[in-house]
Chain A
Amino acid sequence: MDTPVIPVNYYIFLSAALFAIGLVGVLTRRNAIIIFMCIELMLNSVNVLLVAFSKMHHVAAFALDRSTAVGTEAQIFVFFIMVVAAAEVTVGLAIIVMLYRNIHSVDINFLNRLKH
């Protein structure tokens, strides 16, 4: 029963690509919401990587011992990350909304006055 397995390399490339896209977005875009989305993208690229490695790990362990649960913790951890990220998004979006109310813009170049 030889199911074709996607090699872990693919996941790594995907994750790296996602991360890079997110990073470039954060660096180049000025719209706060897009930056926010890009940050989410980077976060999720890490999640993908986490799940991929965890699966790889689990497969290796499963081959030796069928009753093992090694590697599953990471997948549970990903859920936690997603929950925290959601909470973070709530706060972040709230800040952006407040900003928009104040300065009628979500362009971060207008936000350099926090230091004063």
Chain B
Amino acid sequence: MFAAFDNFPALLIWLPLAGGLISFFLKSEKASKLNALFFSVLTLAVLSVSLLYTDPKHYLLNQVSYVWLPNLGSSFGLILDGLTRLLCLLTAILFPLVFLMIPEGRYENANRFYGLMLLTQCGLLGVFMATDALVFYLFWELALIPVYFLSSIWGGEKRIRATFKFFIYTFLGSLFLLIGILYMYLKTSTGSFGLVAFYNAQLTLTEQYVVFFLFFIAFAIKMPIFPLHTWQPEAYEQAPTPVTMILSGVMVKMGLFGLLRWLLPLFPKAVQEFSLPIIVVIIFGVLYASVLALKQDNIKRLIAYSSIAHIGLMAAGAFTVKEVAMHGLTLQLFSHGINIVAFWMVADLIERQTGVSKISELGGIARKAPQLAIFFVIAAFANIALPLTNAFVGEFMIFNGLYQYNPWIAGAAGLSIILAAAYTLSLVKNTFFGEPAAAVASYKDIRPKESFVFATLTVLIFFVGIFPSPFFKLIYETVGLIVNRYVII
């Protein structure tokens, strides 16, 4: 019936934007929460319907382009291909769940809070769908700015400092990105910002190297990659937890997505030239973050370092440009989003109830809250990539690609899975096991609403872990296109 309907991408942008703007005019917290839930679920629904229109032969289905700034050679181009669908799905699934988990009365001026969150969602979806560099840049910033306000208004004690650091870091990256985009624009034959025009731009080797680094720094800060990561633990610690969930679950994926959509296809020669040193640095960073996580006493910082390690693995996988690693990493984008958000949700519940986020002051929650404990153990084992959980499939393939790239690097990176087990299980042991500590004396188990969220996440964890085929079918074309650019060389 809707065979000719191809406006899904635009709908996906407008829905959260409209919801966000409406939210600012709502009075009560309840209404704004309902509004946020409504629009985020609607986005998910639209995306789900659009998934039904996946035609494997037609990966460019649902590509739209609107007149925007014709004299600049920029058009408002959006696309829903496999990679985009996967990331949009992640975004669309996580936002309603995050909204559900926000307790009432937690944040002052809730309408603005929800509004800014929805604007973030709009920015994120835009980043993933943009086929035009200028549009991409616009959404890249659009996703950043609401997060800045969210963190600096509703964040923790040291929020101003942390947010400022976060902003300066990412903004610096954005500037590099902008310079890179403008340079590429000048180099296109027709003077266009379109993705395809960028792909076809002719650059000399030196130009490619320089512009490669301009893009790379922007994405590296966003992911983040060692040694550009120091904004992250602070930002995660200080931002309000729902924002942290979005930051770590989806926003850091912007960097990896940037690698896949822009960096790798645009600069194949530079990638091949610099992949070895970059991978070595990244893997060093992975181990560095893993070792750091061992002795963290703050749950949030521990999760942050764990995330840096996992993201680093994905980034290293991307730079191998091995087919198997690329597939694995794309799936891992999705899996990591689910797992890390699951982690944050538990951390948030603990902190909300006990007012403590120091691991040494916690303990024995499993006695008081067995259901939460079960879920946390599942999330923990998903985090250390136990087989049949989602992360295993992706990490197995990434490691496989790394091994093909260089067995020694794969071996070194493999140490991180041991360290991951060590710090994750320490976290489980010290917070959930043992006899209840003073702080958790009156701990209450999860309520049905939270059970629902956790059950959803658990189902996702196991579904992807046991039966990843549908996801691979979804991304097959897009990943193939990226890898093909390297085969030709």
Chains A and B share a contact (CB less than 8 Å): no
Which A residues contact B (CB, under 8 angstroms)? none
Binding site for A on B (CB under 8 A): none
